[in-house]
Amino acid sequence: MKVSDILRVKGNTLYTVSPDEPLSRAIDTMAEKDIGSLVVMHHGDLVGMLTFREVIQCIKANQHTVGDILVRTAMDDHPLTCTLETELDEVRRMMLERHARYMPVMDKRMLMGVISFYDVAKAVVDSQNFENRMLKAYIRDWPAAEDQLPSAQL
């Protein structure tokens, strides 16, 4: 399974923010949209990722206030990214290694979407459930061996 498979199911709604916007406005957007991350874009280029983790760390470092902080102060300016062709196993490894909950999906320099650790976990569970159903159906329809007679005929 590839990242493109996850995005096909998830859809392509994207929420972005500029690095020069106030952090308070980004927090409002995240709360209103009930999302855990915003992709930080500047002149059409990905320049960072803002998640609730960065927001909390920034607020703590600023004596528990948002004040006049800009998004660029709080954002992760080296976010982990993947492509549409990245295999799901590789995405899981990358996210676990970096403790990343959100990952922008890029096609060269174009932002195609964002996948979350939840999206990855859901895809894995859905795939395993499908495989289990197929295996159970195969076992249920297992052909009887010709040399074995049912115990009632012995």
Find, among 119, 124, 114, the residue nearest to 89 by Cα: 124
pLDDT of 147: 55
pLDDT of 53: 94
110-148 pLDDT, tens digit per residue, is 999 999 999 999 988 887 777 777 877 777 776 666 555
Residue 41 in 3-state DSSP? strand
The pTM for the full model equals 0.78
> What proportion of the chain, given as a percentage, has pLDDT over 90?
71
Q: What is the DSSP letter of 36?
A: S
CA distances from 81 to 90, 121, 143 (A): 11, 17, 47
Q: What are phi and psi of 76, to 5 degrees?
A: -85, 115
Strands 45-51 and 16-17 come out as: unpaired
Q: What is the DSSP letter of 113?
A: E
pLDDT of 143: 66
Calpha distance 114→101 (Å, rounded) = 10
